[in-house]
Structure 1
């Protein structure tokens, strides 16, 4: 994993935090209106002065302290990508197989369509609450200062990065259940990286996982998703059997 992270840090140095390459034209499984609406089932983010906000603040302090750990800081920097193919590279070790358009096209297809569909569910609450991000609230810099201005005033609740990371962890765990613990651990770390980087409150990250749980259930009521998932699992079984010969 350290080699993978090092490769990503090299990419950051060349392309910037937003990473190189244009987004693929991906056909989504459904639009935002068909997904669960977090405004109807989740409470709002914690109010300033509440016990929940005190916990958010303490987690912000914890996140800053973790930046002193060079390996954890490097992981948080690598996990700042929102490109699905780049995310798949980072998840490959936990998955137990390299994920790429060349080697696993069916798996990458369901990841792209699934992640980019589910990420739509974050837009409504982000725009509705317009919660200031922790680095804005405390008037400090993040782990990635070059991205501070880009994220300013874009809404902190929920965390779109966590939405993507947790969505990918669930998709891959369904494809390869034997790796579910490692994948969920990595997905959890993906969310915590946003706390460490200073872009999100802990409650933003936690809410994202609840939103994706609802979205994931909704995807399973869509036949095109189920068909893609069957192809992805078949591809995984075929490649796994081939690697054991």
Structure 2
């Protein structure tokens, strides 16, 4: 028992402390930078619901498994497939700290947006949908927080490792699409998450404290062989 406890403590100490990172851009108001979601019952809203039903009918068990896995993974490790085996955040403390700042900032902004827009989740609008999960706040569909995370982190990583920008942003797009495959979000939720994520990354790059952390992460990724010198 004592050995297991010590191992757990060591693991916790080695894990990236993203939840302790500072949130920046406190003045970013999603209502001012995002269009409102489609009005309930409007042609666009009905088309988005029909799309979810069509994707649900077409998705394979493997599609659903992959989408569920993405939904359960809310950190920068999703980009390892684009950046290679050297992208191990447990061994990249500066990069982990930088992405922690992105995550904290993005989550704070998304939470403000969800509280303001209060769009019902797809499975609330139509309980017949076989969504992967139904344990989210029922009025938290817009914007998609998973997508915002993927694109804010993805854009920052694309600047850190520009030679791999294409695969990085393609991974962010697949991650966002998984929210639709799982029936957790409507198309416009994901589009709004992408817009907000890219905007957050752009504004963070203008923050002096973030730039300092960015340069440290850049050096670390070059040393680790993840980024070209």
Q: TM-score, normalised by structure 1?
A: 0.78
Are the aligned partners of 2:110 and 2:143 in contact in 1 as well (CA < 8 Å)?
yes
- The residue aligned with 1:81 is 72
Write out per-residue CA displacement over residues 198-221 of structure 1, whole angstroms, 9 at most, x where no aligned residue.
Answer: 110000000111112221121112
- The residue aligned with 1:33 is 26
Inter-partner Cα distance in structure 1 for 2:204 and 2:158: 15
Write out aligned runs for 1:140-179 (5 A). 140-144=128-132, 147-148=133-134, 150-179=135-164
How far 1:82 sits from its partner (Å)?
Answer: 4.9
How far 1:112 sits from its partner (Å)?
Answer: 1.4
Residues 1:201 and 1:177: Cα distance change in structure 2 (over 3 Å): same
Residues 1:242 and 1:222: Cα distance change in structure 2 (over 3 Å): closer
Q: How many residues align?
A: 214
- The residue aligned with 1:11 is none
Inter-partner Cα distance in structure 1 for 2:197 and 2:208: 19
Q: TM-score, normalised by structure 2?
A: 0.83
Inter-partner Cα distance in structure 2 for 1:162 and 1:241: 24
Residues 1:216 and 1:158: Cα distance change in structure 2 (over 3 Å): same
Inter-partner Cα distance in structure 2 for 1:49 and 1:157: 16
Inter-partner Cα distance in structure 1 for 2:86 and 2:192: 30
Residues 1:107 and 1:22: Cα distance change in structure 2 (over 3 Å): closer
- The residue aligned with 2:198 is 213
Are the aligned partners of 2:94 and 2:220 in contact in 1 as well (CA < 8 Å)?
yes
RMSD: 2.5
How far 1:143 sits from its partner (Å)?
Answer: 4.1
Inter-partner Cα distance in structure 2 for 1:55 and 1:204: 13
Are the aligned partners of 1:165 and 1:191 in contact in 2 as well (CA < 8 Å)?
yes
**Structure 1 gap ranges (5+):** 1-20
Residue number among 34, 51, 57 corresponding to 2:43 in the alignment: 51
